[in-house]
Structure 1
Amino acid sequence: MYAILDIETTGGKYNEEGITEIAIYRFDGHQIVDQFSSLINPEIPIQPFVVNLTGINNEMLRNAPKFYEIAKRVIEITEDCVVVAHNALFDKRILTTEFDRLGYQFEKKTLCTVELSKKLIPDMPSYSLGKLVRALGIPLSDRHRAQGDAKATVALFKMLLDKDKSKEIITETLRKDTKKQLEPKLLDIIKDTPSETGVYYMRNEAGKIIYIGKSKNIKKRLTQHFTSDNRKSKKIQLEVKSVSYEKTGNELIALLKECEEIKHNKPLYNRALRHTTFTHQLTSFVDEKGYINLKIEKADNRKKAITTFGNYQQAKTALFKITEEYQLCEKLTGLNHTEKQCFNYTIQECFGACVNNEAVAEYNSRVNSFLEKCSYENQNMLIIDRGREIEERSVILIENGVYKGYGFYNLNHQINNPEILKSIINPMQNNRDVQHIIQSYLRRKKVLKTVKLTANTVN
């Protein structure tokens, strides 16, 4: 049984994309026996080029179900199936990432119709889905929409099954469980590691740390390291002798711990992560009219940043979201370069700060609401999230805008008592990389809660 699917996404940074549409056809090798399709609210903005490509926009998805609401149906329709897709690695990665966020392991064998087509129908001018099915006379409607592309993939796969007379290629193309491809030494190393969130440490024969990483699923990430054939992974596979790990309960503490440990230990194969992890920052200034303006700039230690970003596109995407959420003016956030009114004012989605039609105090009040939420400068706060066990919680302490460290607790009185709170916090270094990690995480992800503290509480 096969589950032939297609997924449309928001685009954006690798492994941070969200699903906007999914279509799945359950196919028994002869006919479709079940089907499911749905738009999905990804809870993040769609990249403009994707909107142009698919025609799916943010407004269309406002009332669509979120992924967790349709996840059970996806599991049901793909049960006991081989997943088939055109460029299957992409679709499986996106689905696996979504299920990882829900704490569910979505493990399926896959077949890729790109790979099969190249073997069974060689010498075609293009193997992109659109050009390939047109060349083969397969009808395709709604290109770059999940249902249209998935239906065309069904027809293509049926043709490939007919061409595979010996059935050898499909058998060989089925992706084996990656764990079975591991060498015995590497299997022994990962057999006792958990499928949980944390930081892991690879050591060589002398016991020296050669690589530090973090993952929401340590066992799965190590399996990827040990089955990858890229140059760095092959070197690690030869040198690694043992792996230790520390569970963190959530990704934010894993990110912070990974950052600190890499800077302290300087492992041989973590060269890229020893340095600053962001390239752009968001700053503010007050114009001659008194309005607070926001501006994306290249990262500069000499300037005070509201928040930082991994790259320019990430900064721009976030600023569009901020502008929409706080009903700001695109001209004053630098997203619409114009001498006159911004575009949103012409469609009545801007209150007119761009042409001085909105009171300065009212506009600045909304900007300050964003600044207070986004930047923890001069703030005393706790960030509470999941711990390593069900009954445990993690806590990150910010004191006067400075990251002090993290800890774990089981009872609420432990964080309500200043002396106990200080005792459970593991002191950590504060730097701009740490600020970037915390701010970008709070911007992208949800934690259980944040608690504002008074100066008396933490002093």
Structure 2
Amino acid sequence: MYAILDIETTGGKYNEEGITEIAIYKFDGHKIVDQFSSLVNPERPIQPFVVNLTGINNEMLRQAPKFYEVAKRIIEITEDCIMVAHNALFDNRILTTEFDRLGYQFERETLCTVELAKKLMPDMPSYSLGKLVRSLGIPLSDRHRAQGDAKATVALFKMLLAKDTSKEIITETLQKDPKRLIEPKLLDIIENTPSEMGVYYMHNDDGKVIYIGKSKNIKKRLTQHFTSDNRKSKKIQAEVKSVTFEKTGNELISLLKECEEIKQTKPKYNRSLRQTLFSHQLTSFVDAAGYINLKIEKADGRKMAITTFSNYQQAKSSLFKITEANQFCQKLTGLQTSGKTCFNYKLKECYGACIGKEPVAEYNNRVKAFLEKNSFENQNMLIIDRGRDIEERSVILIENGSYKGYGFYNLNHQINNPEILKSIINPMQNNRNVQHIIQNYLRKNKVLKTVKLPSDKVS
């Protein structure tokens, strides 16, 4: 069964868009068996270019239901379905983001009609939905409206199924319906696990932990383990006798627990987290002119790192974003080595530190502000995020730049009282891997809030 959908959004910053309209057609491979469509009040303004594109404006959405009012219907109509969309990555990301805001883990397998069309119809002049369906003679009314685009995607997908003579789509669909492939013992294990965020532990006959993992959806991840046919998965499937789990409420706690417990327990089928998780780091130095420079280096435990990166490409990409966001000089961040001035100076996005034009003190103040915000050195702080249920919050304690552990709380006075705070924190080992996990996560994801603490709060 397929849920073929289209979503219109407000536009705006990545992962901050809101849904303005959604249409979903439940399709059994032959005909539409159910459907749902609705305007949605995104509770944020629509970008002007989107208004021009879709014709949907803020006034039209004033009385429309908000996302939480249609969420249950979306879950019902997509349940046990593979989601199909034209550029499915986008639609899936938007839906996942909206459900994340409600504290619900929404996960569906997806198929993308752009990718399928490129594979099955490789010589089309364009793969945008409008041009592609026009080339194929498929009618499309209300372009850039959810219902019109979703209906056209149904017709396109039906045509792709017919063109798929080698049955790759059907094969992939069956592979994504894994219950039919799992033996009863493993199905029983899966049935007793939640579709929630957490860390899971696979045990053998003797109760010994043979594998530790983390997932946003434990049930789905175990299903993947138990249907995979690679050598390691086959060994685990033969040996596992039970699975226990701990809910964490958010991914950062899952990552930290997984890292700590693999190092402590050393399960036989865990390998990757026994090594260092990062290869490069960001450091700083003062040049002959007095400017603070930033520099990407290979990871070196003898040097103090501002932050660490999984690989060089991630480090370089992040440094470009850091340089742009803070209007640093590309020559002083090591991103440009040739020329008298840096490229950003020509774009008026650098104030001229590359040629000594910007006063040293002014430039260094911006760098120091960045360092204070992003380096854990000597910092005392709490990282607050979602807990294991709607009334609970998680807290991570950083004391004098060291990770001390995590805990969960329900009342604000629990983290505002130093003695109680200490008692609810589960002590954990501080090392460069966990510091990398925390900094890397904060760089890529939003948490509910971070709270800087005065030294007397944690001493």
- Report the TM-score when normalising by structure 2: 0.74
Aligned ranges 1:233-244 → 2 under 5 Å: 233-244=233-244
User: Residue 373 of structure 2 corresponds to which residue in structure 1?
Assistant: 373
Tell me by how many angstroms 1:334 deviates: 1.6
In 1, Cα distance between equivalents of 2:400 and 2:169: 61
User: Residue 303 of structure 2 corresponds to which residue in structure 1?
Assistant: 303
How many residues matched?
409
Amino acid paired to 2:123: K
Q: Secondary structure at the match of 2:389?
A: coil
Aligned ranges 1:14-33 → 2 under 5 Å: none
User: Residue 435 of structure 1 corresponds to which residue in structure 2?
Assistant: 435
User: Residue 364 of structure 1 corresponds to which residue in structure 2?
Assistant: 364
| One of 111, 128, 131 as aligned partner of 2:123 | 131
User: Residue 259 of structure 2 corresponds to which residue in structure 1?
Assistant: 259
Cα distance change of structure 1 residues 208 and 359 upon mapping to structure 2, 3 Å threshold:
same
Amino acid paired to 1:447: V
In 2, Cα distance between equivalents of 1:360 and 1:199: 48
User: Residue 46 of structure 1 corresponds to which residue in structure 2?
Assistant: none
* Residue 456 (structure 2) pairs with residue 456 (structure 1): yes
Identical amino acids, percent of aligned pairs: 65
In 1, Cα distance between equivalents of 2:208 and 2:291: 55
Cα distance change of structure 1 residues 157 and 218 upon mapping to structure 2, 3 Å threshold:
closer
Which whole-Å deviations, capped at 9, do the CAs of 1:93-119 have from their partners, x for residues lacking one? Answer: 7577656744445465766769988xx
Which whole-Å deviations, capped at 9, do the CAs of 1:322-344 have from their partners, x for residues lacking one? Answer: 11221211221122232311111
* Residue 329 (structure 2) pairs with residue 329 (structure 1): yes
Q: 2:306·2:374 contact (CA, 8 Å) conserved in 1? A: yes
Aligned ranges 1:49-448 → 2 under 5 Å: 80=77, 83-84=83-84, 98=97, 101-102=100-101, 103-106=103-106, 127=119, 130-131=122-123, 140=132, 157-160=157-160, 174-175=173-174, 177-448=177-448
In 2, Cα distance between equivalents of 1:287 and 1:258: 41
Bigger mean CA offset, 242-251 vs 382-391: 382-391
In 1, Cα distance between equivalents of 2:229 and 2:151: 34
Q: 1:323·1:333 contact (CA, 8 Å) conserved in 2? A: yes
* RMSD value, Cα: 4.5
Q: Secondary structure at the match of 2:385?
A: strand
Amino acid paired to 2:184: P
Q: Secondary structure at the match of 2:319?
A: helix
Bigger mean CA offset, 264-273 vs 168-177: 168-177
Q: 1:6·1:85 contact (CA, 8 Å) conserved in 2? A: no
Which whole-Å deviations, capped at 9, do the CAs of 1:28-67 have from their partners, x for residues lacking one? Answer: 8799x9999xxx9xxxxxxxxxxxxxxxxxxxxxxxx9xx
Q: 2:260·2:428 contact (CA, 8 Å) conserved in 1? A: yes
Cα distance change of structure 1 residues 425 and 142 upon mapping to structure 2, 3 Å threshold:
farther
Tell me by how many angstroms 1:418 deviates: 2.0
Cα distance change of structure 1 residues 337 and 212 upon mapping to structure 2, 3 Å threshold:
same
Q: 2:382·2:453 contact (CA, 8 Å) conserved in 1? A: yes
Q: Secondary structure at the match of 1:451?
A: strand
Q: 2:17·2:94 contact (CA, 8 Å) conserved in 1? A: no
Q: 2:6·2:91 contact (CA, 8 Å) conserved in 1? A: no
Q: 1:116·1:169 contact (CA, 8 Å) conserved in 2? A: no
Tell me by how many angstroms 1:283 deviates: 0.7
Amino acid paired to 1:437: I
Bigger mean CA offset, 186-195 vs 101-110: 101-110
Bigger mean CA offset, 97-106 vs 319-328: 97-106
Which whole-Å deviations, capped at 9, do the CAs of 1:255-303 have from their partners, x for residues lacking one? Answer: 1111010001111111111111111111111111111111111111122
In 1, Cα distance between equivalents of 2:76 and 2:418: 51
In 2, Cα distance between equivalents of 1:161 and 1:2: 15
Tell me by how many angstroms 1:6 deviates: 11
In 2, Cα distance between equivalents of 1:191 and 1:218: 11
Q: 1:109·1:177 contact (CA, 8 Å) conserved in 2? A: no
In 1, Cα distance between equivalents of 2:331 and 2:72: 45
Which whole-Å deviations, capped at 9, do the CAs of 1:293-323 have from their partners, x for residues lacking one? Answer: 1111111112211100111121122112211
Amino acid paired to 2:438: I
Q: Secondary structure at the match of 1:3?
A: strand
Which whole-Å deviations, capped at 9, do the CAs of 1:221-253 have from their partners, x for residues lacking one? Answer: 222212222222222111111111112222111
- Report the TM-score when normalising by structure 1: 0.74
Unaligned runs of 5+ in 1: 8-16, 41-64, 118-125
Tell me by how many angstroms 1:447 deviates: 1.8
Q: 2:4·2:153 contact (CA, 8 Å) conserved in 1? A: no
